Structures are given as structure tokens and as C-alpha cells.
Structure 1
Amino acid sequence: MKRPIFKSPSVRQAGFTLVELMVGVLVGLLATLMIAKILGLAEGQRRSSTSGSDAQVSGGLAIYSLERQLKMAGYGLTVEGAALGCNLSARFNGAAPADLPPTLAPVLITAGANGAPDTIRMLSSSKTSFAVPAKLTAPYYDPTDVVGDKARRLALTSSLGMTLNDLLVLVYQDTVPAAAQRDCQVFQISADPGLKEVARQTGGAWNPIGFPDRAAAEGAFVVNLGLLNDVTISRTDDYKLRQTTRLLRSQTTTTQDLQPNIVNLKAFYGKDTNADDVVDTFDTTTPNSTAGWLQVRAVRIALLARSGQFEKDEVTAAAPSWDVGTFATVSGSTTCGTSKCVALKADVTEDWRHYRYKVFELLVPLRNQLWRADFSPAASAPSVPASL
């Protein structure tokens, strides 16, 4: 008897074919490519926005640091206008000190050549109590006096604010005929000051024999430097704003990098050339007389900051410019539409067009110039509106 044979129904296979699998992989790859491209664009836009913000922050903080230093410029040095711009000299261990300022002035601007960054040097007394000048009285200082004590002490109208080891500047009386600038020489207080006198004993680093080397007379006075704060703001070769602080008395120097990505620094003296108490000229010409220094009322600054992000495409078509307006004459400015502009050199590298730039400007009145004891407003100065 034959065993019956049962045929099982065929089982249908389920799944992807090779073609379907390849199509799915292709669609996934295209989706991944599109997502990566979108993310890349978004990240590029984010970096561009962030780098612009970085330039804004760096420039803003840099201009703030400059403003703080400029507001202190001239403190204790410009109380008497006759001291402004005097020819400064000193002896430290028998030789002229390194980097001694050539003149006693609140601000000294060194213009960069061919559009290079300028350098700003600011001087002020380090005294935190009083830094007031004092006139010499008889018997007047005389370095050749070997019988009396004219070479060892200076009689003054007051020694207010003066302490042992302070550096004083002896500003000589005006010459006859009057010179464009007076001479002034540095010495150090050798003992605790009396009520109306200070001692200058020969010896120590700042008091060599016979220095100050000229006899004083009526009209001479002293200015209290303390340590003398000597602050220089400059731009480094790696595009950082740098502050260099020198203390004259100790002959020490400290350096601090304030902000990165600073491409250019431009500074002008603001001068009142017609004595109406209104600044009418901005230039980089350092005055060579006391009368010229009395015209300097403010400092005007422009800072060019650069983004830290290098852009693949050129994003800056032309060099940035500083709109200086038309209210005063500005040296080196050219017409730009209805205003005046000063070009700011940005092509410090070959790829400079691949960065974004921001211009910051600042106008700082030299308040210590305006607070002089001999300052008097011009009769023709603009009056304050009655509504103010």
C-alpha cells in the first residue's frame, strides 16, 4: 500500500530586493548630505555673527581703557600752565634716564608713518592725596652755593602733599626775552619736608652733584611728580592693544595686552587755535611752545577692530574710514559725501578683505588742562542756553 504524499503550500518570501535597498541607501545619503550642508551654513552664519560681536566687545573695551587713562592725563602736572611743554631733563645714577619724556605734557602723540598705528603717551602724577605746585621763595636754589644751604634746600610757599622720596620738577623762571618753553629739571626730596621747604641732599640715584644745574630766581616753582605715571598705549605686531606703564622713580616697566584684534589706532590733538574755548582743529602736530600746549584741550581717537573669524569669501570691499564730520578742521581728512572722512589702514595682511571691521571713536576733553589754576574762559566763548 502506497503512503500518500502531501504537498505543503509554498511559503511566500518577504523583504527588500537589492534594488530597493540601493534606492534606500541613496535617499539616506542625500538626506545626510543636505543636513550636513544646512548645518554648515548655519554654523558659518553663527560664527560670522559671533565674530562681529567679538569685534564689538574688543573695540568697546579697548576704547573704554583708553578713555580712563586719558581722563587722568596731566593730573598734578598742568595746574600751572607755565609748566606745560617745559624741556624736561633728569639724571639717574649720573646719566639721563631711559625713556624720559622730552616735555612735561599731559599727552604725547607719535603719528605712525604711512597710515601705521599711532602711539599715545599719557603722563600724570602718582600722588593720591595732593599734587599741587609750589612757588620758590628767597633764598632761591643755587647749585654753586658751597657756603650756605641754597644747594641743599628749596624754600617754598608750601610743601602741601610732598613727602620723602617724591620726585619734584624744578620749573625755572621765564627767560628775558621770554623763551617758547621753559626748562625743567627733576630731583628727589631727601628728607621729610618742612612746612615751607624741601631738602635736596646730594647723593642717591636722583640727586647727583650739582643737579639741578641752574640757579633759580623769582618766578620758578616745583611740580610734584610722586613716582610719575607714564602710560603708553600702542598696537602690537600681532594686532593687540598694549598698555606699557613706566614708573619714573623706580625705573620699572610693566606691560599688559588689553584687547586682541585691534588693527589700527589713530589719535589727534584737539586744539583751540583762536582762543574762543571751542576746539576747531584736530592734528598730530606736537606743540613746540607753552602757548601751543595751552591750545590743546582734548584728544580725539579712532580704533579699528577686526573680527576674529576668517571668512571664505571677501566680505570687506574697501578700507574702512572714520567719519570725522565738518565741525572742525581735521588733518588728513577728505570729502566723503556731505562729510569728511579719514582713511584707516586695514591692509595689514594680504587676506585683510576676508575679515569684518568696526570703527570706534572717542573724544576726551583733557579736564586737567581745563582745571588749571590760571585758566580763564574766553570772553567770546559760547554761552550756556538759558533752558539748561
Structure 2
Amino acid sequence: MKGANLDGRRRNGGVTLIELLVAMAIGLVVTLAVTSMVIVGESQKRSTTSVNDANQSGNYVAYVLDRALRSAGSGFTQAWDLGVFGCRLNIKRDDSTAVLPRTTAFPAPFAGFPQTVRVAPVLIYRPASGSDVLMVMSGNSSAGDIARPVLSAGSASNKLRLDNTIGLREGDIGLLSRSGTDDCLVQQVHADPAFADSSGNDNLPLGGTYYTTSGADTSLATLIAGGTSFFTPIGNLSADNLQLRMFGVNADRTLVSYDLMQTAGGDTAAKRDEQAQQGIADGVVALRAVYAIDKNEDGNFDLTNDAWVAPDDAAYNITQMMSTPAKVRRILAVRVAMVLRSTNYEKDVVSKSSLTLFDDLPDTLNESYAISGDGLHFRHRVVEFTVPLRNMLLLPTS
């Protein structure tokens, strides 16, 4: 027989209020602990992902610029003494729309770049503030850098008479130049039906998008008169192997390129400028570059006789380089430095207030990138690399 409840009341089941409150408190503590761990983990995940994205952007940008710089000068370096290096580029679309020289400034971030562009494998423009601008020119290396003498005008006003047309084909882009003449004309090989070289043919037909009868200060007829001009094939329009581009960093922290040929076209100048720009990678906040100059022109670079030179140096700024082709030949390499920023804003200050670029070069070449305000809450990374200009290194020293 079970014992009777002495006070006559039934025993209550379940938990007391105090026990319930204790359980809730424990549950709340556990929930807060788990939530805190999740928040910390997610924060670290975002930070790690952001840093990885910045690293990938840096690697990709380095690859793009490295490839462009290594190809600089391909297609025309062997014609350096035939009026090519330093000649003023004259480019027109449909023989009416002037592409170069420009009558207005380039769009940002290239606004300060000279409106008259001269042929050079690579040039660096340093504005008063902001990132540097790299200009890189390369063509079709398989053309062999062969400049072909223009014997005379052809059988029609839009034809050139060459010693032969072997290897030339429809859509080829060539540079028409003459030693001692300031201007050079970009021309396109074109015929209807499509041109193809044949045995014994010495007439090269010109036409298409990039055919022009005149430049800023010279005409096609004047340039080929006298039999001392040269036609240098530098690429093919369909193959898209002609790269006349600039690289810069815009206000959105994006590395962008600008196509000096404006091959994408457009019905207005603003549209052509817009179409000529292409974003390459996000998160790039600064771009700097310096030249390796072979001052004694022996084809080698050593710090005893040669030097690293900033692009705003009085003797090697872009104006001097464009007007003095001999100085362009002295460029043996380019060193590039970039600052990349992560996209993740962090609660704590995670960045230094200043980063030094080219810190292993002489002090006069050191570049300081200042970081302040909200920028201190983003992680930054410096990427530096040196690219030898192989097409320049292959040039004879005399």
C-alpha cells in the first residue's frame, strides 16, 4: 500500500518556475555562444574570401600586363630605323572619322595622356596625381617584322606597288612610314573579292575600315612619292592580333584598358570612347611603373652604367620619349607595382597608413601610397613584377 499524502494534496508534476528560468538562462547562454561563434566564423570567412579574391585579381592583372609587355614591339621593332619609331600615328575609320591624333582629351582615367600618339613599344605616362598609365603596342609577330619597300603608287589611287605581296592577305593592317617624315598612316589591305597574294603580283589594294587617303599633315600620295617609304604589316583585323592599348585605374578601383584603334566602333565620339574601354579586374587602387634604361646603349642592363628611371624624369618623361625615338630604344624592361584592396570592410583597423612601392630601388624611386579613413579597414596587398622587353633586347645595338 502506497503512503498517503499527509497534507491531503496531490503532488504537482513537471518543473518549477525556478527550474524553467534556469533552463532558459542556460539555453540563452548556449545560443549566444553558438551565435557568437557563427558570427566570428562568418567574419573570418568573408575576410579570407575577400583576401583570396584580391590575390586572384592581383595574379590575373599581373598576367595580363606581363603578357602585354612581353609582346611589346612585336611586329614592328625591326623597322625601328625606317620611320616607324616615334612617328605620329594617323588612324581614321572609313577615311572620315579621325581616331588619332585626337582633337579632344582621352576619357578618364587616360585624360592627361598626349592626344598625339607616337609609335613606341611601351611608354609610361605619370600624371600629377593618381595612377600611372601604360601604353603598349604590339602586332603580329608571325609577320616577321618585315618592312616592305613601296616602289611607287599602284595601278590605282588606292593601291601600293611593292616588290611583292607574298604573305599579305585580306584584312591585314599595315603601317606606312618613311624615314625622316613625322607622320605614319595606318592602312588596311582590302579588295572585292577578298585580296589574296598571287605569284608575280606587286599591287597591294587598300580599303576597308582603316583605309585613309591623308593624315594630319601628309597624304597617302605624298608619303609614297619618291620610292622611299615602307609598308610594315603589323596585324590583321579579323585575327585581332594588333594591340595598341593603354592601361589605367579608374575611379571605381578597376584596371581598364583602352583600344587606341577603337575597333569596336560607335556612331558618336563618346560611344567610340565607351566601346574602346574594357574592364580587366576590380580592386586595383594604384598602378605605378618605372623604366630600366640602357643609358650606354650596349644592350645590357647593369646598375654601374644604367639605371631605373621614373616616367616623370625630365629626360625620360612621355614628351621626351615620344619626340626622341633613340630614347625609346634604351628601354630594356619595365617594373610594375600595383596596390590591391579587398572588398570586405572590417570592424578593426587592418591596414597600415602607408605602403611603400619599389622599396628595393634607390630612394628617389620609392613610391608611397597613403591609406586613411575607411581605407584602413580594408586589407591591402602590393604586387610587383619586372618584365623584360624581349623584342627590344633583340634589336642590334648599332
**TM-score (normalised: structure 2):** 0.73
- Compute the displacement of 1:352 (Å): 0.7
Q: Distance in 2 between the 1:242 and 1:202 partners? A: 31
Q: 5+ unaligned residues in a row in structure 2: which ranges?
A: 102-115, 267-274, 312-316
Q: Check if 1:293 corresponds to 2:311.
A: no
Secondary structure at the counterpart of residue 74 of structure 2:
coil
Distance 1:246 1:87, change over 3 A: closer
- Compute the displacement of 1:364 (Å): 1.0
Secondary structure at the counterpart of residue 75 of structure 2:
coil
Distance 1:219 1:273, change over 3 A: farther
* 1:188-214 superposed Cα distances (whole Å, 9 cap, x missing partner): 445545657343569986243752533
Of 291, 296, 299, which aligns to 1:274? 296
Q: Distance in 2 between the 1:363 and 1:290 partners? A: 23
Distance 1:232 1:8, change over 3 A: same
Q: Check if 1:343 corresponds to 2:348.
A: no
Q: Distance in 2 between the 1:152 and 1:257 partners? A: 37
Larger radius of gyration, structure 1 or 2? Answer: 1
CA contact (8 A) 1:134 1:157 kept: no
CA contact (8 A) 2:165 2:202 kept: yes
Secondary structure at the counterpart of residue 64 of structure 2:
helix
Amino acid at match of 1:63: A
Q: Check if 1:257 corresponds to 2:290.
A: no
Higher helix share: 2
Of 133, 139, 149, which aligns to 2:146? 133
* 1:66-86 superposed Cα distances (whole Å, 9 cap, x missing partner): 112222222112122222222
Q: Distance in 2 between the 1:203 and 1:299 partners? A: 36
Q: Distance in 2 between the 1:184 and 1:99 partners? A: 11
CA contact (8 A) 1:187 1:211 kept: no
Q: Distance in 2 between the 1:28 and 1:249 partners? A: 66
CA contact (8 A) 2:90 2:99 kept: no
CA contact (8 A) 1:243 1:257 kept: yes
Alignment-derived partner of residue 231 in structure 2: 222
| Number of equivalent positions | 342
Q: 5+ unaligned residues in a row in structure 1: which ranges?
A: 1-6, 142-147, 176-181, 334-340, 378-388
Q: Check if 1:186 corresponds to 2:199.
A: no
CA RMSD of aligned residues (A): 3.3
**Identity among equivalent pairs (%):** 27
Distance 1:173 1:196, change over 3 A: farther
* 1:20-54 superposed Cα distances (whole Å, 9 cap, x missing partner): 32233223222322332233223322322222222
- Compute the displacement of 1:359 (Å): 0.6
Distance 1:124 1:317, change over 3 A: closer
Alignment-derived partner of residue 104 in structure 1: 119
* 1:140-199 superposed Cα distances (whole Å, 9 cap, x missing partner): 45xxxxxx9696654445544322443322221237xxxxxx542333445545657343
**TM-score (normalised: structure 1):** 0.75
Alignment-derived partner of residue 314 in structure 1: 349
Alignment-derived partner of residue 119 in structure 1: 133
CA contact (8 A) 1:186 1:212 kept: no
Q: Distance in 1 between the 2:56 and 2:264 partners? A: 35
Q: Distance in 1 between the 2:26 and 2:283 partners? A: 45
